[in-house]
Amino acid sequence: MEFVFPIIFFVALAIQLVYVLFVFTKLVSHNDFETQTDFPPVTIIVAASNELQNLQELLPILDNQDYPNFEILVADDRSSDGTYDYLLTNEGNIKKLSFLRILDLPQHFTAKKYAVTMAIKKAKNDILLFTDADCRPESDQWLKTMVAQMDAGKDIVLGFSKYKFMPGALNALIRYETFQTAVQYLSFALAKVPYMGVGRNLMYKKSLFWKNNGFTRHYGLLSGDDDLFINDAATKDNVAICISEEAVTNSIPKETWAEWFVQKRRHLSVGKRYKFKDKLNLGLLWMSELISWFFFVPIFFIRPDWFEAPEWSRIPNEFLKQYGLAHWYPFNDWMRLILFVFCIWLVTKWIVLAKANKKLSNTIKSWKIPYFDFLYAVYLFVFGIITLFSNPKKIKWR
């Protein structure tokens, strides 16, 4: 034990620092391309099921995008709240609007993926930009900025979607978890190891969708229309990212712990279907995070006989006696080593994530990063166990 636990702890911290210093810093140093003058036609796709109120708010925002050639395509997935009548009569006078109505769901397909597939079939243009009905682009330059990143050889653009600020602990945790997820998938994409995207702000080519046979490999799963498709279709060379403030979308978060629990269980359940190299990468990142936090206190009280600091570096025994702490003398050198190494990791990570936070529109309060990073480790532990026993086919997409 006196060898095994310290080795595991120090190796975990070393792995964490490798990710922080050599992967996450790629996001910190990244800058998007400037808006181009060439504007290829684009189709914005929104799959919606009983989202009348959200569509009434979203569609005018999309229609007002500063872009010369695009269509807005809504896939109405068996809605019963008046969505069809709203789209049919075009009450909002949306100039770029087109839609399709889904009345039946094939047995072999799940709802969201069928809706998205039908929309892609109907789309007039090769470049497709996806968002959800409860998302709001933060500027009229969203479309233009996303398209600007799809330079020669790129088929996919991964955007960033944050969650709306609301008071309360749940909202703070949701925003931090979303921030962490974004840092990871955007940084890995820049490191030539793309593994997922988020359907709230995602662009790819129609030709790429058909080239990869759409959702064929996972059409029976109730989730994964965004991350599993990108996991299948992305290569080290065909992915770009977009993090400009003008290209951010803002989503409405869950407001109860129960709703959020269901949502995260659904999102994480499909991770089992990622490529092996991606599961290995994420596994190392997340496991080292857990060990770094949860081994910190227990490792304090392991005093390995093989470690002996110079006498001059120790806290004098006489000083400890004054405060009734003489019994801690054999441990004081070891504890200070652990604390020193842990603080190096934590401060380094804090600095890098704070800089990444500035790149991602100051999604969170940077001074709270250490606190929420610990909660994030708890989140990984809890949902890691839940995911092991989750069946994606039994989880609803809404």
The per-residue pLDDT for 265 is: 80
Whether 266 and 222 have beta carbons less than 8 Å apart is answered as yes
Task: State the chain's maximal CA–CA distance in angstroms.
Answer: 86
Q: How confident is the model at residue 391 (pLDDT cuts 50, 70, 90)?
A: low
- Is 201 buried (19+), middle (13-18) or exposed (0-12) by CB count in 10 A? buried
Of 135, 267, 148, nearest to 196 (Cα)?
267
Report the C-alpha gap between 52 and 367 in whole angstroms. 39
Report the C-alpha gap between 5 and 338 in whole angstroms. 12
**Residue 180 φ/ψ, nearest 5 degrees:** -60, -45
Q: How confident is the model at residue 49 (pLDDT cuts 50, 70, 90)?
A: very high
Render pLDDT for 340-382 as a digit per residue (tens, 0 to 9): 899 999 999 999 999 999 999 999 999 999 999 999 999 999 9
Of 174, 175, 143, nearest to 159 (Cα)?
143
Q: Domains of the chain by range and CATH?
A: 4-24+281-394 (no CATH), 31-252 (3.90.550.10)
pLDDT at 335 over 90: no
pLDDT at 201 over 80: yes
Q: Which two tokens stand for residue 264?
A: 């995260």
Question: Long-range contacts made by residues 391-396, C-beta under 8 angstroms, separation at least 24?
Answer: 391/269, 392/221, 392/222, 392/223, 392/224, 392/266, 392/269, 392/270, 392/272, 392/273, 393/220, 393/221, 393/222, 394/222, 395/222, 395/223, 395/262, 395/265, 395/266, 395/269, 396/222, 396/262, 396/266
Whether pTM > 0.85 for this model: the answer is yes
Of 159, 88, 176, 142, nearest to 370 (Cα)?
176
Whether 230 and 195 have beta carbons less than 8 Å apart is answered as yes
